Amino acid sequence: MSQIYPYRLAKFLQDQVGDGLRSVIYYEPNEYEVVFVRDDESDYDDEDIDGIVADLWADSYEQSIREDLRGQGPLDCTVWVFEEAIEMHFVADERQGVAVALDTETFLTQSTFIGRCLEIAGLE
């Protein structure tokens, strides 16, 4: 298994985007940990988080399938763009990784290329 530093990542993100950071979740095959959650995002109960982590496990399990199918080398991260949040899923290996959620506005400010693509495509 890969060595993962979720607290280091959470600290980096807090320094970079401040209040734009919504959450950081670290997971491995048999457990998970909510490393950071912003106060206004803390209304998720254990059942909600269990469901999110189950989805992350499934996504990371499919990592090797995606790598083989696309032939682009190792899959390091997937990004989901929602109206209210951008979620990044950093995959270490099967059923292990870190998921990060940022405010959409914060992410687009940090990554103007994606924001510009959304604008040009008429999706923003």
**pLDDT value, residue 77:** 85
User: Left if phi > 0, otherwise alpha if psi is -120 to 50, otherwise beta: which for 23?
Assistant: beta
Nearest Cα neighbor of 25 from 69, 15, 41 is 41
Paired tokens of 32: 């998970």
Paired tokens of 114: 């994606």
Calpha distance 44→42 (Å, rounded): 5
Other beta carbons within 10 Å of 1: 10
pLDDT band at 123 (very low <50, low <70, confident <90, very high): low
Q: What is the mean pLDDT of residues 86-94?
A: 85
pLDDT band at 124 (very low <50, low <70, confident <90, very high): low
Q: Per-residue pLDDT tens for 33-83?
A: 999 999 998 788 889 999 999 999 888 888 888 888 998 988 888 899 888
Let me know if domain 6-120 sits in CATH 2.30.40.10: no
Nearest Cα neighbor of 58 from 25, 88, 97 is 97
Tell me if the pTM is above 0.75.
yes
